Amino acid sequence: MSDNLQPRGSDDATFAQPLYTPIKRRSFFMYAGATAGASALVLAGCSKDSDPVKPNLPTGNSTTADGSISLGSGDVGVLNYAYALEQLEADFYSKVAALSNGASLLGATEFAYFQQVAKHEAIHRDFFKAALTRDAAGQVLRNLTPKYPAGTFDSKTTILATAKAFEDLGVAAYNGAGKLIKTPAYLVIAGQIVSVEARHAAYIRDLITPGSFAADDQVAAASGLDMAMTPKEVLNTAQNFITEKLSGDSIGVNA
Amino acid sequence: MNFFNIINQLAEVDPDVMGRLDTRRSVFNSLTSMSKRAAMAAGPALLASFFTKAYAGTTAGDPKEVFNYALTLEYLEADFYNKMIASPYFSTASAAAQAAIRQISKHETAHVNLLKAVVTGIGGTPTPAVTFKSATFASLTSFAAQLQVAQLLEDTGVRAYKGRAGDLLGLADVTITGIGTINPLQSALQIHSVEARHAAHIRYMRNQTPWITGTGDLDSQPHYTGAIPESNTTQSNVNLIAANSITPNTTYSAADAAASFDEILTPAEVTDNSRAGGLIGA
């Protein structure tokens, strides 16, 4: 089957055109689905042993030689990478939202906002699972087991510090991963999510230090640019909070 | 609030106004306040030609055009915050509010400088500077009124950037003096998330949710509508709010689903008179 597939480049050139006039929502989503399907086929093809270019690109959720779980390659790798981070964020906020003393610990308004953020992150997580299941069946990253330092959920200070770390990390992760995406529709989706993560990050930062929503430690003063991190840099940090060992070595890599 | 009345008037431009202004200059000198408004309303009619000029020599989807589009918006924002800081109402704001506006202003000016360098770096010519329309700004007669516009500008900027990201895929890195080597798409994303941080903070300053739930005091403004409105709850054909759609035994609210994804605006929507387009002028 992989022998019959067209090269990626020709797919993109043909399908990308409608995105540039994205007023017609229906055609945009039809396009998104069509390209996503095509990408999944191509990526599935890439993993075949017969592939003459890069025979060793891992499929999503496969186990690598050292026992790590691979996030996969190409766009699937990027989506699984985002899915992994959203799993972590969603788990963290669900635990915060479930605190019986949440309102007294964080303040009533803040606790209510945290419950909204918990919903946003759960939706992000479940959206990625649904999209991956549709576009890359068989390569969907498994459910991860988050872990936290003792006392993480015991005080306002530790909850806010953890939330800030996750949100700023998430923003930097999406900012760094955008250029690894090949399918424009996926890039748009990532953009739609990262700005919400940035809103969360700004809010959490303001709770910790009022006015620090885009402070110089996060947004470079000279360029006005937010942080961007490579998958390797992000996973180095995220790994501290995830029981399973993840491998992101082939994220964005195509045959 | 005056601002929205003016915007409404701008959207209802009398096509004959320009002709009358051109041929009856003697009348121009004795304008009543009503006809002054008509003159203001004529301004946006020039915008279409402005945007056409700004992008002359480029084609849709051309990265140079995309970055000049971004640069135009950053010019507008940078000038708006400069006007805010110079306004007599600025001193009425708290020290924290003033510091926040200064920090945001610093970023917008940095974005202007960076984007000019990026346009040049990818072989283009930076588009001429634009300003926030003075008459519209003058109608914002309090710090709070100015903050309303700041929120609309920032949320529009967030929507504008994400609407063009796809046009920047695959661009080669560019080396910029004083900044270093950057990837154009990544830089656009790094600006985009800063705009989102600004938007969140201004919403927070205004006692609004930092994210767009649809229940905010400005959330019904044109800046949140469009072909894909911020109220959208279907992403990439995935229905986020249908029972059991994405999570077994869970139904998400429309407000949560809408807030969890920001939406794009097309260039035509951004530069429409009802949004950023109506704010550019002398």
- Is the CB of A41 inside 8 Å of chain B's CB atoms? no
Model confidence at B254: pLDDT above 50: yes
The pLDDT-based confidence of B131 (bands split at 50, 70, 90) is very high
Please tell me the predicted confidence (pLDDT) of residue A56.
81
Please tell me the predicted confidence (pLDDT) of residue B48.
39
- Is the CB of A143 inside 8 Å of chain B's CB atoms? no
pTM above 0.95, yes or no: no
- Residue B200's CB is within 10 A of a number of other CB atoms, namely 32
Interchain CB distance below 8 Å, A192 and B235: yes
- Is the CB of B63 inside 8 Å of chain A's CB atoms? no
Task: Tell me which residue of A131, A115, A116, A245 sits closest to A183, measured CA to CA.
Answer: A131
Residue A183 lies in a domain: yes
With pLDDT > 90 as the criterion, what percentage of chain A qualifies?
Answer: 77
| pLDDT tens column, A73-130 | 999 999 999 999 999 999 999 999 999 999 999 999 999 999 999 999 999 999 999 9
Residue A131 lies in a domain: yes
Interchain CB distance below 8 Å, A225 and B194: yes
Please tell me the predicted confidence (pLDDT) of residue A55.
59
- Is the CB of B259 inside 8 Å of chain A's CB atoms? yes
Which of B191, B201, B252 shows the shortest C-beta gap to A123? B252
CA distance B250 to B149: 37
Tell me the backbone φ, ψ of residue B174, rounded to 5 degrees.
-130, 140
Helix (H, G, I), strand (E, B) or coil at A126: helix
| pLDDT tens column, A172-231 | 999 999 999 999 999 999 999 999 999 999 999 999 999 999 999 999 999 999 999 999
Provide the number of structural domains found in chain A: 1
Task: Tell me which residue of B201, B189, B262, B170 sits closest to A172, measured CA to CA.
Answer: B189
Please tell me the predicted confidence (pLDDT) of residue B168.
94
The pLDDT-based confidence of B248 (bands split at 50, 70, 90) is confident
- Is the CB of A191 inside 8 Å of chain B's CB atoms? yes
- Is the CB of A16 inside 8 Å of chain B's CB atoms? yes
Interchain CB distance below 8 Å, A192 and B264: yes
Model confidence at B132: pLDDT above 70: yes
Residue A218 lies in domain: 2-247
Top mean-pLDDT range of A33-47, A159-173, B163-177: A159-173
With pLDDT > 70 as the criterion, what percentage of chain B qualifies?
Answer: 79
E strand spans, chain A:
69-70, 246-247
**Å from A117 to nearest chain B CA?**
8
Mean pLDDT lowest for which of B35-39, B236-240, B246-250, B257-261? B35-39
| pLDDT tens column, B68-114 | 999 999 999 999 999 999 999 999 999 999 999 999 999 999 999 99
Residue-wise burial string across A198-232, b where 16 or more C-beta atoms lie within 10 A, e elsewhere = bbbbbbbbbbeeebbbbeeebbbeebbbbbbbbbe
Residue owning tokens 């110089």? A216
Per CB-CB distance under 8 Å, the chain B contacts of A27 are: none
- Is the CB of B133 inside 8 Å of chain A's CB atoms? no
Residues A49-56: what's their mean pLDDT?
54
Q: What is the ipTM for the molecules in this complex? A: 0.82
Residue A129 lies in a domain: yes
Task: Tell me which residue of B225, B151, B258, B228 sits closest to B195, measured CA to CA.
Answer: B151
Which of A176, A189, A211 shows the shortest C-beta gap to B96? A211
Most B-contacting residue of A199, A204, A207 (CB-CB within 10 A), to test interface: A199
Task: Tell me which residue of B36, B15, B43, B55 sits closest to B281, measured CA to CA.
Answer: B43
**Å from B36 to nearest chain A CA?**
35
CA distance A222 to A220: 6
Model confidence at B6: pLDDT above 60: no
Please tell me the predicted confidence (pLDDT) of residue A146.
98
Model confidence at B200: pLDDT above 60: yes
**Å from A172 to nearest chain B CA?**
8
Model confidence at A51: pLDDT above 70: no
Interchain CB distance below 8 Å, A191 and B162: yes
Residue A255 lies in a domain: no
**Å from B31 to nearest chain A CA?**
40
Residue A68 lies in a domain: yes
